[in-house]
Structures are given as C-alpha cells and as structure tokens.
C-alpha cells in the first residue's frame, strides 16, 4: 500500500516539474570503476584538459592574498568524475576542520525534506502549517513546495544596514532567539503565495520546525526532541553519504535549518555530490526521483531567475534577477549552488561532472560576492566539459 502511494506521489511530483525539467542538463551517473566516497574520496591528478594558466591564477587569487574583496579562503576542493582533483587549505585549517555552513544549510534542509517525502511522511504539495495558525489562516494553506521556493508571501526583510531592521538578526539574536519558529510564525502575509520571491531564513526555520514535528510528533522534552531528530537526520541522510556534521538547535530543540551546520570541506563536497548524482548514492535512492531537478528548476515567481527550491541557479541569459548570479559564464548555465554568508559555496556543474567547495570569509557585501563569483567562474571554467554517458539499466 505504501509503495503504491509513494509511486503515485513521485508521478505527481515529476509531472509538476516535467516541462521545466526538459530544459535541464542531464545529471551524470557515477563513472564506472570509481568508488563512492562514503568512507573517503579517491584522489586523482588534475585532468590533462584543464586550462592551467587560468586555474593557477584562480588558485593564486584564493590563497595568495592578492584579492582583497575575496577575503580569507580557508578551503577549496574540486571533485571531477567522482575524484578529488584539487584540494588546498589555508594555514591552520585541514581536511579535518569543520567550518560553518551559514546559509548553505538551506540546501541541506531541502535534502532533509526530500528524505521525508521519500519515506512517505509528507507531500510536498500539501499545506505545511504551524500550531500558531488556525485552519482559516491563509498562511496555513501555503504548501511545502512554496516554502522551499521562498514564494510564501510573508512580510520579512532578511537583512538591512540598520541591524534593528534585519529580520534574520531579530529572529536569531533578538526577540526571536528563544523560539525562532514562533517568531517567524507571527509574520503577516502580504503577497499571494506563489507570486513573489523573497529570500527568507524565517521561511526555512518554519520548515525546520514543521519537519521536526513530522519526524518527532510527541517528544518527551527538548533533549528528546533534539536527540530523535538528530538520529533521524543521521540515518536518513548524513550517515548514508558519509557526512559527519555538527548541527545546532534552538532552545526549543528545532534545528537551525537556515544556517548553522558545521562540516569539513570534504563532507560539504559529499553533499554536493549527492545532488550531482541525482539523489542516488551507491545504488540507493536517498532523495525522491526528480527532487534534485525540483531544487535546480526556477520557481514560479517572475521577480527572480536565480533561485529554485533552496538552491541558487545560473540563468541562461543575462546577469540574473534581482541580483547577479554567482556564475557568469552562459556556457555553465546548468550550474547550481548552495551559498552562505561570508562566501561559503558549494557549486554543482553537471556539464563538467564537477563539484567545487569554497569555505572562508569576507567582510563585504555585493561587491565581495561579485568578486567571488568571478573567481568561481574562472576556476570552474578552467575545467573541461564531460559528455554524459547514460548509466546501464
């Protein structure tokens, strides 16, 4: 019965994104003879077709202290064809150093919701809800899909020059710090759901809370809620791909799905690699069929072309709306990425069978992000394309 219901669910889910998915670059399968990196990565030399001058310049800019806007690069790792082909760390950091995700965690939250969908615990097109919203509250009708696409329509401002006006600061460190979900649930709705995109950590934390209530519906206390949720995340996602992250929780036991995951560069690369391989790991499906395509397909709102579902996208034409995309080369329009404060990025490029992770920090805003995007475009662009070889059935 459950298997039939799941099959029907996947068919509905796949049909909803079929038109958009037709334009997506195919996700490459695992190369024959390459071990899955569950325990550790296979290491290989740089491919012969790498543009060495462009690549060397990008490495020098990252680690040579010659690019002020990029700030401090602490780790860079490049995976191509399932192997580490480049890895370097700033002095004082190593392959074993856990670094903060900041908002790259939002993409991990996308994966955790997908794992719950695969297990038949929720439907992505069902209303998500919150205990503070009555049945007649319009916010109670917003679907999981709309929350993930950040088209919920709530009145929320992520950041502002005046920190007192920054929703993220008020929620995490101000009046909302003791219950981020309750604070976010009190935001009013000002747009029809599905019509306006607005980047929102508040929406992600509402997802974190709702997912926790699905997985742990009747906890005996905060410690039990946290422990059971951690066990489910490990069993459903992290342990299955060999990640060993540290996840932070708020005082009520809700995981900070918008920002606070600590992991090594190699572990973040494993997460990106799961998406490069379409949510399948070593022959086992971790995410529903079509879930990765959902993440990398533009949402319904017309005021952005650089966001899918908790993943950042690269537009096929133009610099991006409402702000410039990370990758600027139209030949890499298939690239999608997880991005976090101070320049944390996981970039997945199916056409190159490549994942790149950069971890570090910078102090700037838009100009620093543009500089990081130029650098990432140069580094990744130095690698050659890889034709997709269809996996044997």
Q: What was the pLDDT predicted at 161? A: 67
- Note if the pTM is more than 0.85: yes
The answer to whether residues 332 and 92 touch, using CB atoms and an 8 Å cutoff, is: no
For residue 77, tell me if it sits in a domain. yes
For residue 248, tell me if it sits in a domain. yes
* Cβ-proximal residues to 63 (8 Å cutoff; 6+ apart), any chain: 73, 76, 88, 90
pLDDT 10s digits, 107-153: 999 999 999 999 999 999 999 999 999 999 999 999 999 999 999 99
| Range in 123-127, 226-230, 249-253, 388-392 the model is least confident about | 388-392
pLDDT tops 80 at residue 16: no
Count of structural domains, the chain: 1
For residue 161, tell me if it sits in a domain. yes
> Which of the four pLDDT bands, split at 50, 70 and 90, describes residue 354?
very high
Q: What was the pLDDT predicted at 164? A: 62
Spatial separation of the C-alpha atoms in residues 314 and 24, rounded to whole Å: 11
- Segment 149-158 shows an average pLDDT of 96
| Range in 8-12, 148-152, 299-303 the model is least confident about | 8-12
Question: What is the torsion angle, in degrees rounded to the nearest 10, for the CA atoms of residue 372, residue 25, residue 301 and residue 133?
Answer: -90
For residue 7, tell me if it sits in a domain. no
Average pLDDT, the chain: 92
pLDDT 10s digits, 175-198: 878 889 999 999 999 999 999 999
For residue 8, tell me if it sits in a domain. no
For residue 82, tell me if it sits in a domain. yes
pLDDT tops 80 at residue 306: yes
Q: What CATH number does the domain containing 172 carry?
A: 3.40.710.10
> Which of the four pLDDT bands, split at 50, 70 and 90, describes residue 166?
confident
pLDDT 10s digits, 268-300: 999 999 999 999 999 999 999 999 999 999 999
pLDDT tops 90 at residue 1: no
Which of residues 6 and 363 earns the better pLDDT score?
Answer: 363
Strand 42-43 to strand 312-313: parallel, antiparallel, or no bridges (unpaired)? unpaired
Residue 45 CA to its chain's centroid (Å): 28
> Which of the four pLDDT bands, split at 50, 70 and 90, describes residue 162?
low
pLDDT tops 90 at residue 223: yes
| Range in 152-156, 177-181, 306-310 the model is least confident about | 177-181
DSSP secondary structure, 115-160, as one string: HHHHTTS--TTSB---TTS-TT-GGGG-BHHHHHTT---B------
* Cβ-proximal residues to 94 (8 Å cutoff; 6+ apart), any chain: none
The answer to whether residues 386 and 28 touch, using CB atoms and an 8 Å cutoff, is: yes
For residue 386, tell me if it sits in a domain. no
pLDDT 10s digits, 37-60: 999 999 999 999 999 999 999 999
> What is the residue range of 315's domain?
17-381
For residue 5, tell me if it sits in a domain. no
Q: What was the pLDDT predicted at 227? A: 98
pLDDT tops 70 at residue 11: no
Q: What was the pLDDT predicted at 10? A: 43
| Bridge partners (DSSP) listed for residue 89 | 75
């Amino acid at each position: 019965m459950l298997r039939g219901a799941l099959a029907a669910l996947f068919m509905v889910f796949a049909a909803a994104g079929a038109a958009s998915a037709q334009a997506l670059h195919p996700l490459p399968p695992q190369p024959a003879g390459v071990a899955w990196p569950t325990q550790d990565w296979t290491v290989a030399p740089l491919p012969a077709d790498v543009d060495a001058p462009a690549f060397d310049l990008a490495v020098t800019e990252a680690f040579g202290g010659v690019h002020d806007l990029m700030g401090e690069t602490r780790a860079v790792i490049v995976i191509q064809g399932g192997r580490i082909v480049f890895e370097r760390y700033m002095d004082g950091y190593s392959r074993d150093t856990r670094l903060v995700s900041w908002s790259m965690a939002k993409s991990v939250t996308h994966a955790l919701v997908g794992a719950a969908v695969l297990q038949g615990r929720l439907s992505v097109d069902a209303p998500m809800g919150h205990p503070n919203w009555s049945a007649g509250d319009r916010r109670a009708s917003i679907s999981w899909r709309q929350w993930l696409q950040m088209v919920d329509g709530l009145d929320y401002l992520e950041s502002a020059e005046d920190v007192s006006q920054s929703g993220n600061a008020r929620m995490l460190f101000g009046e909302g710090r003791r219950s981020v979900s309750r604070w976010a649930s009190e935001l009013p709705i000002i747009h029809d759901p599905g019509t306006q995109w607005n980047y929102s950590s508040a929406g992600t934390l509402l997802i974190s809370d709702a997912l926790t209530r699905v997985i742990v519906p009747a906890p005996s206390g905060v410690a039990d809620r946290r422990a059971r949720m951690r066990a489910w995340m490990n069993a459903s996602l992290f342990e299955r791909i060999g990640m060993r992250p540290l996840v932070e929780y708020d005082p009520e036991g809700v995981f900070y799905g918008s920002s606070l995951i600590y992991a090594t560069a190699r572990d973040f690369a494993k997460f990106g690699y799961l998406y490069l391989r379409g949510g399948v790991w070593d022959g086992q499906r971790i995410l529903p069929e079509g879930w990765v395509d959902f993440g990398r397909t533009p949402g319904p709102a017309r005021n952005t072309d650089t966001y899918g579902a908790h993943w950042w996208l690269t537009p096929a034409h133009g610099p991006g709306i409402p702000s410039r995309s990370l990758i600027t080369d139209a030949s890499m329009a298939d690239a999608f990425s997880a991005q976090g404060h101070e320049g944390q990025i996981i970039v997945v490029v199916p056409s190159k069978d490549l994942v790149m992770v950069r971890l570090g920090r910078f102090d700037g805003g838009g100009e620093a992000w543009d500089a990081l995007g130029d650098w990432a475009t140069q580094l990744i662009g130095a690698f050659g394309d890889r034709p997709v070889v269809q996996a044997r059935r």
